[in-house]
Structure 1
């Protein structure tokens, strides 16, 4: 039976899906240690200044900068050494004109001092006298109170994805727990009489389940929790029962295969039975992945993926990833790793659809080249043997050899 779709461009399809999603975000509180890659659910302000005391950034001597003005190796400045600043607590000494206190990196600057002379730029004449061989400016070799962040400063906005450096900055301010978006639970169902678990040996006509595992990995990468709910045969009642059960315990449902318009098309009918409004999009101006389905059932998103592994991964990358970020309230998509490269071959296309073509990168003579890895959408190793993908724009007839393209890395 020929495929007959009323297709939407990918951006329009995603917008239609987002418009039907409820705005509520499930929240939870986690320790800062466990918050890596989580989406912050509150605006954070600095509870105190950082640093909270003036810190020395070099081993040397705390001084009044004006006491060193004009100092040189031929005409050094002479200062009286009155003691040593302890680490980990306030220094009881106060530096007056003509005096110096020995200090160490990270220690608190003694009262009265406004600069630190590096130890390499001094000479110790005796236990009570040093020579300063080069002048320092006010504020040199120290960090002022609040130079990193001041009390009340905005740290992060809700929706920010927390990075390793963010967690370090938060613990430096004593923030040890955070309110974040709960990780969305994504139920994943594979369908097909021919699909078997990967730990079984396939008989003639059977194939091992690939999509449950690639989609689970993509869900984890996007901050979700994958819930594999098995392989369901091509039977309407069996799929409807499994889908209902899976969606009850999850925030989102992904059904792999069954989304092509054919006599065996079950996914769209099942989605329409799971809740209102049901199927929103069946057919996207995309290759591979044209027969994908997007739906919302009683406030929960449902995606029907093509069964071919490459098609499933392309659709999941374009729709499932952004969807999970939307569910977590992420304000903007994280920057993807992209590189510019020169095409080694033409990539044909047809106006009216976006094409995603895998490419292999090679550095030759100091120039980065992108070699298309052409293959059918049921061949998973075309992606495995590639470094990234190139997008042929919606209204383009293709890309040409020696053209500079943007490669989105896997």
Structure 2
């Protein structure tokens, strides 16, 4: 077994995990209505051009641009109005020299026309005739076929997490189903004689299982399917049997608690029994979350979380979430949302360690401030009352009040 508690920087620890966990995914097809936040298994190409026909970008008159050359407010061009283009239908008129047709935003450009004059730049000369007060160039105020996307152009690559606007693009192309990566099943096994389910009234010395539900939320947001596998007592054979069973039915296993230094700590031994190469990292230069365990067992990631909820969620954010994305074919997790804010209090730290401090965002005189929510790593409500995390980098001895910092939003 590797030397116990030889801590690694978080980035190095994740890289070590990923050395043994190449990006991979299994395909499945979902409907467009089910595709939000799903990861594409293969590139999606446009089966048709959008738009399929030349369209007006505003209300106005479809014209031949050359008929407007030299037009001005003092010397307008006069054009014969030959009709109106109906919305949702092909034009019934063709624009010939000296003619125009009324067209609405999104309407199809009639044959013969190559530009649109804004309604505001025209006026009625007499019945059936308009004055054009400004010249237009060919293509002006017109969306040409394929201007939005060309036929056979790549809309999104493989490994792309589909956003709301992507669903709109798929709908515009007439694509009603898409091949995506199957959502990985992530087994969550809590451990500890003192841990009881949330619906149980805890006796003195007992605590409710917080981590299985908090981390399940993180897994679900990353596209995984959390599978709660129950609570294991602090007995080696029982823990091993439950861990083996949970991992056999899932793509990944997360063990909550049991990774702190203790004579009753069996997590590392259990993990090394689950498959090769086994335990890769036991200890990360991180606060909170130092006693994290990272492993790969016969191709499946296994991660041991500290028992304290804040520590567990920090470790899950840094290692569980990226692994879930990895199992959907992404090389790395999508960029996190973050804001810049000024710090209200000093945050002392220790060089060589990355610190995560919960913080709430407050506005003062129109300026955004980050107010640390101080507490211990076993206090889940330090996260409940926070908007995000302030990260103190490893090369810093701390952050000063008034300093502008980045807040990683939840």
- State the TM-score, normalized to the length of structure 2: 0.95
- How many Å apart are 1:181 and its aligned residue? 0.9
Instruction: Check conservation: 2:84, 2:102, Cα contact below 8 A.
Output: yes
1:85 maps to: 85
1:222-371, aligned counterparts within 5 Å?
222-371=222-371
1:170-207 Cα offsets, whole Å, 9 max, x none, are 22112222211111110111111111111121111111
SS where residue 67 of structure 1 aligns?
helix
Instruction: Check conservation: 2:23, 2:330, Cα contact below 8 A.
Output: no
1:5-84, aligned counterparts within 5 Å?
5-84=5-84
Please give the root-mean-square deviation of Cα atoms over the aligned residues, in Å: 1.8
1:69-102 Cα offsets, whole Å, 9 max, x none, are 3334443322112222233232232111101112
State the distance in 2 between where 1:356 and 1:35 align: 33
Residue 105 of structure 2 corresponds to residue 112 of structure 1: no
Q: Give the ranges of 4+ consecutive aligned residues of structure 1 lying more than 6 Å apart after TM superposition.
A: none
State the distance in 2 between where 1:355 and 1:58 align: 54
Instruction: Check conservation: 2:388, 2:408, Cα contact below 8 A.
Output: yes
| Larger CA deviation: 370-379 vs 77-86 | 77-86
1:362-388 Cα offsets, whole Å, 9 max, x none, are 222233222222211001111112221
1:372 maps to: 372
State the distance in 2 between where 1:98 and 1:362 align: 63
SS where residue 345 of structure 1 aligns?
coil
1:208-237 Cα offsets, whole Å, 9 max, x none, are 111011011000111101111111211112
1:115-162 Cα offsets, whole Å, 9 max, x none, are 112333333455532232333332222111111111232222111111
Instruction: Check conservation: 1:160, 1:331, Cα contact below 8 A.
Output: no
1:156 maps to: 156
State the distance in 2 between where 1:139 and 1:121 align: 17
- How many Å apart are 1:40 and its aligned residue? 0.9
Say if 1:272 and 1:26 are closer, same or farther in 2 by CA, change over 3 A. same
Gaps of 5+ in 2: none
1:405 maps to: 405
1:125-274, aligned counterparts within 5 Å?
125=125, 127-274=127-274
State the distance in 1 between where 2:141 and 2:53 align: 14
State the distance in 2 between where 1:341 and 1:101 align: 55
- How many Å apart are 1:110 and its aligned residue? 0.5
Across the two proteins, how many residue pairs are aligned to each other? 408
State the distance in 1 between where 2:113 and 2:331 align: 45
SS where residue 281 of structure 1 aligns?
strand
- How many Å apart are 1:299 and its aligned residue? 0.7
| Larger CA deviation: 354-363 vs 300-309 | 354-363
State the distance in 2 between where 1:107 and 1:369 align: 49
- How many Å apart are 1:22 and its aligned residue? 4.6
State the distance in 2 between where 1:303 and 1:4 align: 16
Instruction: Check conservation: 1:22, 1:299, Cα contact below 8 A.
Output: no
State the distance in 2 between where 1:398 and 1:72 align: 66
Instruction: Check conservation: 2:4, 2:282, Cα contact below 8 A.
Output: no
1:260-311 Cα offsets, whole Å, 9 max, x none, are 1211102111111111111111111111111111111111111110110000
State the distance in 2 between where 1:348 and 1:60 align: 64
Say if 1:273 and 1:140 are closer, same or farther in 2 by CA, change over 3 A. same
| Larger CA deviation: 303-312 vs 238-247 | 238-247
Instruction: Check conservation: 2:9, 2:353, Cα contact below 8 A.
Output: yes
Gaps of 5+ in 1: none
SS where residue 215 of structure 1 aligns?
helix
2:386 maps to: 386
Instruction: Check conservation: 2:309, 2:377, Cα contact below 8 A.
Output: yes
